[in-house]
């Protein structure tokens, strides 16, 4: 890796390395290291391990600060989704990271530049390298630059269903019963309906939510209800 051919990758990352050797290390697979001891003194697995922790912390911190009502369970599920191999390899695709990997002949011959496992590991290694050189704040900026849209989308949509799961688990634990959702209002044209739904626990109304689908309205109702329940039996 030379300063010349790393510039486009650094532009996509939004971070310019002073120590290009650190970036080279982050992009060096162990297959290259073992096959080319004269051209490489190390590979990227230590940086990958570090980057994994940096990525996880940035995501959890962002979730914690973004929504005080997110439960531990919800944050854990969002984080788990975002650090999956499939998501990291998507990020690698945005960066065209496969083009920059240093691979051994065997990995090169078997399509290593497109392997999700190698790509996801390289993303973490690059984040680890940014953290080592630029510190936490720079690493955080890069992570959020790459992941914020995915985080916000998940927080607003799919993971909202976690509120329903959490409420169901909590009401079973506390009252040995399940939540009951009641549609109290439907407004708008057929393709632009807005639903208002209330949730009842043991006959008592604990939450209300409005959404463009019944599921969305239920999740907002469940979110409100969770705030009124104790976390465990007293």
52 catalytic? Reply is yes
Give catalytic status of residue 124 as yes or no: yes
Among 173, 175, 171, 176, smallest CA distance to 221 is for: 171
CA distance 11 to 16: 7
Q: Which residues have a Cβ under 8 Å from the Cβ of 70 and sit 6 or more positions away?
A: 63, 64, 78, 155
The active-site residue, picked from 25, 48, 121, 124, is: 124
Q: Are 207 and 221 in contact (CB under 8 A)?
A: yes
Determine which one of 52, 121, 166, 216 is catalytic. Answer: 52
Using DSSP's 3-state secondary structure scheme, residue 22 falls into: helix
Quote the CA–CA distance of 196 and 217 in Å, as a whole number: 6
Handedness of CA 71, 72, 73, 75 (dihedral sign): positive
- Active-site residue set: 52, 124
């Amino acid at each position: 890796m030379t300063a010349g051919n790393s510039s486009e990758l650094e532009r996509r990352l939004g971070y310019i390395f002073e120590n290009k050797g650190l970036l080279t290390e982050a992009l060096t697979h162990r297959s290259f290291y073992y096959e080319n001891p004269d051209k490489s003194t190390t590979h990227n697995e230590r940086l990958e391990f570090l980057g994994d922790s940096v990525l996880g912390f940035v995501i959890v911190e962002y979730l914690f600060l973004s929504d005080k009502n997110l439960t531990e369970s919800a944050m854990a599920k969002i984080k788990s989704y975002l650090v999956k191999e499939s998501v990291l390899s998507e990020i690698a695709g945005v960066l065209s990271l496969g083009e920059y990997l240093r691979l051994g002949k065997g990995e090169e011959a078997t399509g290593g530049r497109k392997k999700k496992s190698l790509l996801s590991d390289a993303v973490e290694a690059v984040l680890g390298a940014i953290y080592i050189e630029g510190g936490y704040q720079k690493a955080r900026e890069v992570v959020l630059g790459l992941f914020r849209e995915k985080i916000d989308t998940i927080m607003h949509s799919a993971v909202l269903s976690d509120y329903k799961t959490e409420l169901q688990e909590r009401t079973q634990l506390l009252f040995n019963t399940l939540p009951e959702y009641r549609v109290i209002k439907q407004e708008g044209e057929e393709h632009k309906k807005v639903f208002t739904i209330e949730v009842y626990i043991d006959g008592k109304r604990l939450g209300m939510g409005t959404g463009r689908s019944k599921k969305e309205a239920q999740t907002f109702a469940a979110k409100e209800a969770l705030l009124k329940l104790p976390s465990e039996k007293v």
